[in-house]
Structure 1
Amino acid sequence: MCGRFSQAYSWEEIVAFSQPLTVPSDRPNLRARYNIAPTTDVDIILNTETGRELRKARWGLIPGWHKGGLKDFKLATFNARVENVEASGTFKQAYARRRCIIPASGFFEWTGEKKDRVPHFFSAADGDLLAFAGLWESWGNPETGEDITTCTMIVREANAWTSLYHDRMPCILLRRDFDAWLDGSGGMELLKQPPRELREWIVSKRVNKTGEGDDDPRTIEPFSDELPL
């Protein structure tokens, strides 16, 4: 599964990457985040009537049919397995109608024993951003009356190289497939094709704690003894 990732880019980088975004005239500052965990807000790219937009979404999809409050939804939905995303009662409506791209500068996986886990950071071998295939929903919180956008990241069986670190990995889209994914004309063939070439290095164990180093770019740098644990 993928339970941590990083989003660190400028407006210029994300606009070019999205091919391109519709940028609001009052565009907010983008906050670089290096150790993102589930249930926090992340950037997603989706199609709207005015074009391709960057929006915030709570990482952990809550389907629109859920009638209880936020604390009543007990499922772990920050990842959706590619094997059942089309048929799952939680994800199938979003898969058919509400797709998104989750831009990322990289993601984390761990090796070793639980008490001494070693974090590894994965990014595109060419240094570009990654495009994780995602789904989104709009859910009405009955406790506050607020409409909340939520999202999930689709994951697949790891390829031969990534399986050395974990048995799952995000479904990574190629740029040429952005339109087909977002408009629904493409499907499983996009999610199961060979992923982009990745690179990997060990990072500080600071990231083993949720939110630690979230605003610190050193979080994703190759580990050295000078970095605080």
Structure 2
Amino acid sequence: MCASYEARFNITQLVELFSQAGAPLDMTTGLPNLAPVDEVKPTDASPVIGGTAGSARLAMLKFGFPPPRPKARPVVNLRAEGRVFDNRERTGRCLVPVSGFYEFTGDRYPKTRWVFRDAEAAFLALAGIWRAGEAGEGASFALLTTEPGPDVAPYHDRGVIPVPSERWADWLFAEPFPADVIAPPEAGRMTVAALPRPPKA
């Protein structure tokens, strides 16, 4: 389960790499200023790339779908296996750019925090799903998970899905659903290092 991640990149990097991947971002309203964030947590707003019919758009959406029942936590991860996620008016596929994502190990507090990053690129684009809000609430998103790849398996029994850049356009736009994108990353795709949280002031 991935319940937090790092978002330290700039809009220029996103524009350049999504253009190279055949999913150019629609920036007709101007380039937003993306402040670097060390840890995006559930209910935080974060950059998400969605779109249909070949037009990719960046939006700030809330991390985690609303809780399914009172006092429950937001739904930040969705199991991907055996499911179809189509692009519709109020929901669809998206990519969540992250400079690293966190997993935790240990049975006692504080648990060990591990950060996973792309071994070569400035950021990973994780497969996600967005949904429009109800009753005046803003849109939100969740990350898809599947069996972990070799890099993540020693730390967790589920893994998020980094989409290779050559498949970004397929994930955002392709119909029918590109089920083959739902796959764990190959060994060596990511680096991993312990990254304790800074002490509270």
**TM-score for both structures, normalised by structure 1:** 0.74
List aligned pairs for 1:85-124, cutoff 5 A.
85-86=83-84, 95-97=85-87, 98-124=92-118
| 3-state SS of 2:139 partner | strand
Match of 1:211 in 2: none
> Contact 2:93/2:172 (CA < 8 Å) preserved in 1?
yes
Aligned-partner Cα distance in 2 for 1:147–1:24: 25
Question: CA shift at 1:129, angstroms?
Answer: 1.1
Question: CA shift at 1:85, angstroms?
Answer: 4.1
Structure 1 residues 73, 28: closer, same or farther in 2, change over 3 A? farther
Q: CA RMSD in A?
A: 2.5
Matched, 1:22 2:26: yes
Counterpart residue type for residue 181 of structure 2: L
> Contact 2:52/2:172 (CA < 8 Å) preserved in 1?
no
Structure 1 residues 73, 100: closer, same or farther in 2, change over 3 A? farther
List aligned pairs for 1:178-217, cutoff 5 A.
178-185=168-175, 186-192=177-183, 194-195=185-186, 197-206=189-198
Question: CA shift at 1:132, angstroms?
Answer: 0.4
Matched residue count: 190
Question: CA shift at 1:131, angstroms?
Answer: 0.8
Aligned-partner Cα distance in 2 for 1:127–1:175: 10
- Higher share of residues assigned helix: 1
> Contact 1:62/1:137 (CA < 8 Å) preserved in 2?
no
> Contact 1:18/1:45 (CA < 8 Å) preserved in 2?
no
Aligned-partner Cα distance in 1 for 2:79–2:63: 15
- Indicate which of 119, 144, 163 corresponds to 1:154: 144
Question: CA shift at 1:26, angstroms?
Answer: 3.8
Match of 2:44 in 1: 40
Aligned-partner Cα distance in 1 for 2:195–2:44: 22
Match of 1:209 in 2: none
Matched, 1:31 2:21: no
Structure 1 residue runs of 4 or more that deviate by more than 6 Å after TM superposition:
none
> Contact 2:115/2:193 (CA < 8 Å) preserved in 1?
yes
Segments of structure 1 that go 5 or more residues without pairing to the other structure are: 87-94, 207-227
Matched, 1:136 2:134: no
Segments of structure 2 that go 5 or more residues without pairing to the other structure are: none
Output one character per residue of 1:57-82: Cα deviation in whole Å (capped at 9) or x when no partner.
Answer: 1111259xx9xxxx858464211011
> Contact 1:17/1:129 (CA < 8 Å) preserved in 2?
no
Aligned-partner Cα distance in 2 for 1:75–1:165: 22
Structure 1 residues 183, 50: closer, same or farther in 2, change over 3 A? closer
Structure 1 residues 156, 10: closer, same or farther in 2, change over 3 A? same
